[in-house]
Amino acid sequence: MTDFEGVRVLVTGGASGIGAAIVRRLREEGARVAVLDLAPPEGDPDAHRVDVGRDTEVRAAVARVAEAFGGIDVVVNNAGIGARGTVADNSDEEWHHVLDVNVLGAVRVSRAALPWLRASPRAAIVNMCSVAARAGLPQRALYGASKGALYALTLQMAADHVREGIRVNAVSPGTAATPWVTRLLDSAPDPEAERAALEARQPHGRLVEAAEVADAVAYLASPRAGSTTGTVVEVDGGMSGLRPRR
Ligand SMILES: NC(=O)c1ccc[n+]([C@@H]2O[C@H](COP(=O)([O-])OP(=O)(O)OC[C@H]3O[C@@H](n4cnc5c(N)ncnc54)[C@H](O)[C@@H]3O)[C@@H](O)[C@H]2O)c1
């Protein structure tokens, strides 16, 4: 028996990168995992095409998953999009769009899943935050603000639902080796130099692996973390807290 045998899980953004690593990890442990993604992987019967920016789509998909699985025990709000620029650079439309996906996306999915989480004996929500929530990074005004909001939302939700037996935590990765970062590197004038700069920015000297983030999610979603709620686990090679000498 593992911690996840028969556990019913919903992962947003589970088609790529960190989300795909979470789906793999929890399925390996015996969980039934549904994927809600804009671009779901083909051939996966438990993957649904959903834009977390659209409430009616979210409600319908969450209800479909709950009916197919007989309930929902764990929600991982992982879907997210990036944005580059200072406060001077992004339009109002871009601000609304990124906040709508990165913050309200987690609100919509959690809200729709709450009735089933309340009925679960081991309910947990894990939000995918970022080092940009607490560390000031250049050109990340909008993205960092969205993840800062998700960080605060995690604490408020944890307080609201602790007496209902629903734990709410977040994982905060540093720069992780995913298709997202590959796209970022490909758009840089010198991708090799950009990669070296990103690696050097993290005290442990390399990019975070998606599987390392998935391990932290698995811990927070498991009954082993039964006394852990309202916390944010940093998986960032020390980026948010350490100031090592070069
Ligand atoms: N890669 C990093 O360096 C890094 C660092 C810190 C935090 N994060 C966070 O981790 C999460 C996953 O990032 P990743 O690097 O795996 O990215 P990714 O681009 O590889 O995967 C993101 C997934 O989310 C899906 N998605 C995007 N918008 C959606 C929407 N509106 N509705 C439904 N699905 C949507 C995409 O289709 C994709 O499958 C994001 O929330 C990101 O902010 C990533």
Is the predicted pLDDT of residue 73 greater than 90, yes or no? Answer: yes
Counting from 1 in the atom list of ligand 1, the atom nearest the Cα of 176 is: 3
- CA 168, 49, 69, 179 dihedral sign is negative
Query: What is the rounded average pLDDT of the residues 106-132?
Result: 98
CA–CA dist 169, 155 (Å, integer): 8
222 falls in which pLDDT band (50, 70, 90)? very high
Catalytic annotation on 143?
Answer: yes
CA–CA dist 132, 109 (Å, integer): 22
Residue whose pair of structure tokens reads 């990890």 in the numeric block: 25
Q: Identify whether the C-beta of residue 49 lies closer than 8 Å to the C-beta of residue 37.
A: yes
The model's pLDDT over 188-201, given as tens digits with 9 standing for 90+, comes to 999 999 999 999 99
Identify which of 178, 195, 201, 209 to mutate to test ligand 1's pocket (most ligand atoms within 8 A of the CB): 178
> CA 185, 191, 192, 198: dihedral to nearest 10 degrees?
-40
Whether 53 lines ligand 1, by a CB cut-off of 6 Å, is yes
- Token digits of residue 90: 């992004």
Identify which of 11, 12, 24, 38 to mutate to test ligand 1's pocket (most ligand atoms within 8 A of the CB): 38
Q: Identify whether the C-beta of residue 48 lies closer than 8 Å to the C-beta of residue 26.
A: no
Q: Whose CA is nearest to atom 36 of ligand 1?
A: 13
Query: What is the rounded average pLDDT of the residues 81-95?
Result: 98
Query: What is the rounded average pLDDT of the residues 89-101?
Result: 98
Span from the CA of 245 to the centroid of ligand 1 (angstroms): 32
Query: What is the rounded average pLDDT of the residues 141-154?
Result: 98
119 falls in which pLDDT band (50, 70, 90)? very high
Contacts of 101 (CB under 8 A, 6+ apart): 52, 53, 79, 80, 81
At residue 245, the pLDDT reads 84
pLDDT-above-90 percentage for the chain: 98
Q: Identify whether the C-beta of residue 133 lies closer than 8 Å to the C-beta of residue 228.
A: no
The model's pLDDT over 169-218, given as tens digits with 9 standing for 90+, comes to 999 999 999 999 999 899 999 999 999 999 999 999 999 999 999 999 99
63 falls in which pLDDT band (50, 70, 90)? very high
Whether 37 lines ligand 1, by a CB cut-off of 6 Å, is yes
Span from the CA of 15 to the centroid of ligand 1 (angstroms): 9
CA–CA dist 65, 63 (Å, integer): 5
At residue 120, the pLDDT reads 98
- Cβ burial 131-150 (10 Å sphere, 16+ → b, else e): bbbbbeeeebbbbbbbbbbb
How would you class 218 by CB atoms within 10 Å of its CB: exposed for 0-12, middle for 13-18, buried for 19 or more? buried
Q: Identify whether the C-beta of residue 203 lies closer than 8 Å to the C-beta of residue 135.
A: no
Query: What is the rounded average pLDDT of the residues 40-51?
Result: 97
Whether 144 lines ligand 1, by a CB cut-off of 6 Å, is no
At residue 2, the pLDDT reads 85
Residue range 8-173+208-233 in CATH 3.40.50.720: yes
Query: What is the rounded average pLDDT of the residues 63-76?
Result: 98
Is the predicted pLDDT of residue 136 greater than 80, yes or no? Answer: yes
Question: Which is the catalytic residue, given 4, 69, 116, 143?
Answer: 143
Contacts of 40 (CB under 8 A, 6+ apart): 15, 47, 48, 49
At residue 1, the pLDDT reads 67
- Enumerate the domain spans of the chain: 8-173+208-233
